[in-house]
Amino acid sequence: MNTTDTSDFVPIYDSLVAEHGDVPAEAREAAEEIQREAAEALDWSKVRGGG
pLDDT at 35: 97
Is the confidence at residue 1, as pLDDT, over 70? no
pLDDT in the model for residue 5: 59
Q: What is the pLDDT of residue 51?
A: 52
∠ CA(28), CA(11), CA(19), 5° rounding? Answer: 60
Rounded to whole angstroms, the Cα distance separating 25 from 31 reads 10
Binned at pLDDT 50, 70 and 90, residue 6 comes out as low
Give tens-digit pLDDT for 7-51.
Answer: 566 888 889 889 999 999 999 999 999 999 999 999 988 777 655
C-beta neighbour count of 22 within 10 angstroms: 13
What is the per-residue DSSP string for 9-49?
Answer: GHHHHHHHHHHH--HHHHHHHHHHHHHHHHHHHT--HHHHT
